[in-house]
Amino acid sequence: MAKPKFMPGDVFISKLLSGYRNFQGIELEENFNLAGHPLYCKLQQYLKDSEHNGSLRRNPVNLSDSIIMGLIAPRFHLPNLVAKNIRISNSDLRYADLRFTRFNYAKIFNTNLEQANLAASEIDYAHFVEDILHKASMRWVKSSVGAQLDQIEAHFVDFYNANMKKSRIRHSKFIGSKWNRANLAEMVMNFVNMDRSNIKNAKNIETCQYLSTSSFRDVEANNEELAALEIARLRDNYRPTTIINNGNDSMIFYPMRIKEPKKVLIRK
């Protein structure tokens, strides 16, 4: 990758307003207060108009291979962004509209994305570290080969129908998060707090790894998800006995070193 080319914040705004879209490989002015710029409201309206007329979809803003440090841009409206291999750090992107963004191979560090909208974004090989994602929308995000999320604060984040296949989440708090219909195939969850989360109709829970290190207190789930959760935990540790209370039934799993634990259903 070529060395990023420095771009002052004023130049970035003026180029955007002139219709320029290809900012690949720039290094934006550090600690630039975009939200405090006199032209910020005008820029926001221009970008919203560009979305409504389809211009942003046909010709999206490209910030791939760029470096963004200390950007202050809450409520920034920039859907359909192309941001492959971007580096974002120490930035304020609360309430930002980043739907349909291509964050493949992105690295996002210590950034506030509280209530940001990242719905339907691509996050293959993306790496989020020490970010805040409280109440953010990650609905329909796509990660067929895996993203990595480390030390994330993400209470009440929404992963409805997201594809998080092969993703890795470590040392993070996802309290009260929503995972309805999400694909969790082969996910790794190391020391993740999932208390009070909703995992109803989440798919492939039984293939997750290291769930025994994570907390799932008071989760909202159907019996099927609870059973899948215990199968995954059992596969981690081969604990001698795991019991799920299921109305009038109890399921006792006897660990065996085969693909699936043997199950015995006992009716009270």
Separation in Å, CA 259 to CA 210, 252, 262, 264: 16, 17, 9, 16
The strands making up 168-173's β-sheet, listed across from edge to edge, are 5-7, 26-28, 67-69, 87-89, 107-109, 127-129, 148-150, 168-173, 188-193
Rounded distance, CA 210 to CA 234, Å?
10
Rounded distance, CA 242 to CA 91, Å?
44
Q: pTM value?
A: 0.87
Per-residue model confidence as pLDDT tens for the chain (268 residues): 678 999 999 999 999 999 999 999 999 999 999 999 999 999 999 999 999 999 999 999 999 999 999 999 999 999 999 999 999 999 999 999 999 999 999 999 999 999 999 999 999 999 999 999 999 999 999 998 999 999 999 999 999 999 999 999 999 999 999 999 999 999 999 999 999 999 999 999 999 999 989 999 999 999 999 999 999 988 876 543 333 444 444 443 333 333 344 444 444 4
130-167 b/e (C-beta count within 10 Å ≥ 16 → b): bbbbbbbbbbbbbbeebbbbbebbbbbbbbbbbbbbbb
Pairing of strands 67-69, 107-109: unpaired
- Three-class DSSP category at 56: helix
* Architecture, CATH, for domain 118-267: 3 Solenoid (2.160)
* Residue 102 DSSP label: B
